[in-house]
Amino acid sequence: MTEPAEDLSFSKEDRLLKPEEFARVRKGGRRLVTRGFTLYILANGLGRTRLGLSVSAKTGNAVKRNRIKRLLREFFRLNTLLFPESADVLVTVKSHTHISGLSDLTGEIGGALRPARSGK
């Protein structure tokens, strides 16, 4: 019998959905800035890390915005351990971002989260 696989799903409970949740994280969260993104991180006390995405029309057309959101969700799903435990994370995409694939996200956001995860 094989070991059960790690749960790599991205369920509704893992998302910030309400406008007031976005506003709370944006207002009270610690801010990490990278070349293409601004991350706001705020403890939530829920025992799980949740993700919210904010991608404005300035980023590009709908195809480009949806691609960036898919890549961010996939990065979050595969790298949940990089994010602080029991926190709400809001990712705001800056206009004209340079992200073309998952490896770009791993380098940029992963590099910004490592010091935050260790508490430095």
User: Quick one: average pLDDT of 33-48?
Assistant: 92
77-106 pLDDT, tens per residue? 988 888 888 999 999 998 766 777 888 888
pTM (2 decimals)? 0.84
Six token digits for residue 112: 């910004």
Amino acid (1-letter code) at residue 7: D
d(CA 104, CA 55) in angstroms, rounded, equals: 17
Give me the helices (H) in the chain, please.
19-28, 62-78, 102-117
Task: Write down the pLDDT at residue 116.
Answer: 56
Q: Where are the domains of the chain?
A: 14-117
Pick the CATH number of 14-117 from 3.50.50.60, 3.40.50.970, 3.30.230.10, 3.40.50.10490: 3.30.230.10
Beta bridge partners of 51: 15, 89
